[in-house]
Copies of this chain bind each other. A is one copy, B any other.
Amino acid sequence: MVKSVTLKDVAKRVGVTAAAASMALSGSDRISDTTREAVKEAARELGYVPSSAGRALRNQRAGAVALIVPNSSQHVFGHMYFMHVLTGVSESANAHDTQVLVSTNADEAQGVAAYERVMRSRSADGAIVTSAAIDDDNIQRLVASGLPVVLIGNFPYLDDAVSVGIDDVTATRRITEHLVEVHGRRNLLHVTGTLDHQTGVDRRQGFLDAVQAAGARGDIIEGDLSEQSGALAVELALSSAEAGTPGVFPYDGVVFANDDMALGGMRILRSKGVAVPTDVSVVGFDDFGLARVTTPGITTMRIPAEEMARIATERLFGLIDGTADLAAPSHLELPVEFIARASCGCADG
């Protein structure tokens, strides 16, 4: 259908061998100046672009990195978080003249996750894995296989794995302390993320640390990061017998493990006539876009997702090229940023 221009075509036009043309294009000084220029000229005229397959086969290098969304966290696909990650990965990959492959999990044919097949087929020279579950076997195998992999997130059980994350425990402790210290809240509820992900566990821990240190009340309801589960958690709290009077919200502060759940929770609170932030202070986590546009805006911890991804990809290239600084800690932690908005009582609007 389309005439592919190969190195041979370029070589033939100049009257040299393909090998010579290859060397000319790579700027080798084995080739005379005149020939080299002639080859470059011919390549330009013909619109020659090296075949990625030919190169990959010869160089044993795909010239691509894979961005993997494990089946254990399909919920991130379709979320702004992933866009930020993709942006960061692309930026770094572009700088390294490398393609980006996005690999979701299609089939799990013969027990091998699709993304492991991607790696084993050498379609990509390395992989960025984002937000895998704690006990995701496929990821563990991928890391153990020795293929260059950098994880985004915290993986205490995979302590030899290279990873880039944030300190969820400290971040959640800080935002909980904000509720206690700045807004005087003493009856707190935490709606958790998915507890099979380390972030879910860590954020819960940070919350518990803060309420314990403050001597405040700190209850826990398990959520799953969806807007709906935030709504359900609030409904559960409202209907709880402990509330004394059903319909009266028994907390004066809620720490949601992400902004989506905070939105769902605020919806229910409003519909039941519970005022945010007057009656209840609400905070979320993430700041991937949503927290800024709701009414009231959600006070939150901003995760530097794009930067995490960019740094993770840089580290991945270090692994691939063998230039990785072996003295560097395998796990890197980036700072989060506290963003005060109206839902906790800080800003107006």
Q: Give CA–CA (A117, B97) in the complex, Å.
A: 11
Q: Give CA–CA (A121, B121) in the complex, Å.
A: 19
Q: In the complex, are the beta carbons of B263 and A293 less than 8 A apart? A: yes
Q: Which residues of B contact A330 (CB under 8 A)?
A: none
Q: In the complex, are the beta carbons of B44 and A53 less than 8 A apart? A: no
A329 touches B (CB below 8 Å): no
Q: Which residues of B contact A82 (CB under 8 A)?
A: 83
Could you tell me the distance in whole angstroms from the C-beta of A249 to the nearest C-beta in chain B?
20
Could you tell me the distance in whole angstroms from the C-beta of A137 to the nearest C-beta in chain B?
15
Determine, out of A7-15, A102-110, A230-238, A333-341, the stretch whose residues face the partner at the interface: A102-110
A122 touches B (CB below 8 Å): yes
Q: Give CA–CA (A323, B62) in the complex, Å.
A: 29
Could you tell me the distance in whole angstroms from the C-beta of A224 to the nearest C-beta in chain B?
18
Q: Give CA–CA (A83, B95) in the complex, Å.
A: 23
Q: In the complex, are the beta carbons of A1 and B146 less than 8 A apart? A: yes
Q: Which residues of B contact A49 (CB under 8 A)?
A: 112, 117, 120-121
Give residues of chain A (63-92) contacting chain B, Cβ–Cβ below 8 Å: 63-64, 77-80, 82-84, 86-87, 90
A57 touches B (CB below 8 Å): yes
Q: Which residues of B contact A51 (CB under 8 A)?
A: 57, 121-122
Could you tell me the distance in whole angstroms from the C-beta of A64 to the nearest C-beta in chain B?
7
Q: Give CA–CA (A142, B145) in the complex, Å.
A: 39
A295 touches B (CB below 8 Å): yes
A-B contact pairs, 18 of them (CB 8 A): A2-B146, A47-B120, A49-B112, A49-B120, A50-B121, A52-B56, A52-B123, A53-B62, A53-B122, A63-B123, A64-B123, A78-B83, A78-B87, A99-B118, A100-B101, A100-B103, A101-B102, A263-B293
Nearest 8 Cβ contacts at the A-B interface: A94-B106, A53-B56, A295-B295, A49-B120, A53-B57, A52-B123, A52-B121, A49-B121
Hey, which bits of chain A sit against chain B, CB under 8 A? 1-2, 4-5, 44, 47, 49-54, 56-57, 62-64, 77-80, 82-84, 86-87, 90, 94-95, 97, 99-104, 106-107, 110, 112, 114, 117-118, 120-123, 145-148, 263, 289-290, 293-295
